[in-house]
């Protein structure tokens, strides 16, 4: 097996994680984000400017971004579904923003109430404004290994949507196994298919651990050359499509594997686990990281 020498962790716990947990205080979020930076994480999704009607947990996103003590070499990003969200993110001085598309027509309809094509059309003014402001935009593609409504998703559709977002100007495409149903061979085949139309160094893996497969899937995909992986400290965030089930992969478990493979992440695993344990305490729940559980005991 040939792996990249370095892997960059894109930490989503403070956004994709906390938006699926019970609310915590603004101060708890600020501490979490600062702790993650201290642990060596360089890319931290910190906010989401979606309607608080839909995601009340993220209503204080502007306040979070305005009050974190920023490290010079860390990127603090925000999810922005539309131009209004982008304006709020710019006001709060997000370093970069992210948009989200889907590889599943049914998921797009049910999740953002429009077709894949309409969702892409809606992103155009946002992309223009972001370009004018010289702010980078990351693109998420959901349901890349399966859809809660449609089941299997053809890899050609994943490649098509990824290419559109990339050509629109997204600097990186994060491939989301939103419901965690993938297994190693089909995960790798999907990444290989997408890398035919988007350079592999512009791809990221965002694999959920709902079926316990995320680490094995990432291992299989690292051989394709992909070297950016999204994960969530303490496994923050359940699965909105399967109540009680796991959602995000725990960053600690990922970093443990990468370090064991001799891959550099720049992260201090002990500090990372401490950051995860602190926010888990604030949430009153056990950490979702097996590494953190083992280190704690």
In angstroms, the CA 32 to CA 27 distance is 9
- Candidate list 183, 193, 200, 268; residue touching its own copies; CB under 8 A: 183
Single out the segment in contact with its own copies by CB under 8 A; choices: 7-15, 183-191, 192-200, 224-232: 183-191
Binding mask 152-181 for its own copies (x = CB under 8 A): ----------------------------x-
Smallest CA-to-CA distance from 269 within 234, 218, 222 is with 234
What are the structure tokens assigned to 273, written together? 């686990």
Residue 106 binding its own copies, by CB under 8 A:
no
Contact 172, 138 (CB under 8 A): yes
Smallest CA-to-CA distance from 24 within 16, 11, 14 is with 14
Give CA angle at 10 (296, 4), nearest 5°.
Answer: 95
Looking at beta carbons only, is 111 or 210 nearer to its own copies? 210
- Helix (H, G, I), strand (E, B), or coil: what is residue 60? coil
Residue 151 binding its own copies, by CB under 8 A:
no
The length of the chain, given as a count of residues:
297
Residue 184 binding its own copies, by CB under 8 A:
yes
Residue 71 binding its own copies, by CB under 8 A:
no
Residue 293 binding its own copies, by CB under 8 A:
yes
Contact 215, 200 (CB under 8 A): no
In angstroms, the CA 31 to CA 24 distance is 11
> What residues act catalytically?
239
Residue 257 binding its own copies, by CB under 8 A:
yes
- Candidate list 227, 256, 273, 283; residue touching its own copies; CB under 8 A: 256
Residues that bind its own copies (CB under 8 A): 1, 180, 182-186, 209-213, 215-216, 218-220, 239, 242-246, 250, 253, 256-257, 259-262, 289-291, 293-294, 296-297
């Amino acid at each position: 097996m040939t792996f990249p020498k370095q892997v960059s962790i894109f930490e989503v716990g403070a956004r994709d994680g906390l938006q699926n947990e019970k609310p915590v205080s603004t101060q708890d979020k600020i501490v979490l984000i600062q702790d993650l930076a201290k642990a060596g994480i360089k890319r931290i999704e910190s906010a989401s400017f979606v309607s608080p009607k839909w995601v009340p947990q993220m209503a204080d996103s502007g306040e979070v971004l305005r009050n974190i003590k920023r490290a010079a070499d860390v990127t603090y990003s925000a999810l922005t579904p539309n131009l209004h969200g982008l304006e709020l993110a710019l006001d709060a001085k997000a370093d970069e923003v992210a948009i989200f598309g889907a590889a599943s027509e049914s998921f797009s309809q049910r999740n953002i109430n429009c077709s894949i094509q309409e969702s892409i059309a809606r992103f155009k003014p946002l992309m223009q404004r972001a370009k004018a402001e010289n702010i980078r935009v990351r693109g998420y593609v959901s349901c890349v290994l399966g859809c809660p409504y449609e089941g299997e998703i053809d890899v050609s559709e994943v490649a098509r949507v990824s290419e559109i977002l990339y050509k629109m100007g997204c600097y990186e495409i994060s491939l989301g196994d939103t419901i965690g149903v993938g297994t190693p061979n089909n995960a790798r085949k999907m990444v290989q298919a997408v890398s035919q139309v988007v350079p592999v160094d512009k791809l990221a893996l965002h694999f959920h651990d709902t079926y316990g497969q995320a680490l094995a899937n990432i291992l299989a995909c690292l051989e394709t050359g992909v070297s950016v992986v999204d994960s969530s400290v303490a496994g923050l965030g359940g699965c909105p499509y399967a109540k009680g089930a796991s959602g995000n992969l725990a960053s600690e478990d990922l970093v443990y594997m990468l370090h064991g493979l001799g891959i550099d992440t720049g992260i201090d695993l002990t500090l990372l686990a401490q950051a995860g344990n602190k926010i888990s305490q604030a949430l009153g729940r056990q950490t979702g990281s097996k590494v953190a559980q083992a280190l704690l005991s």
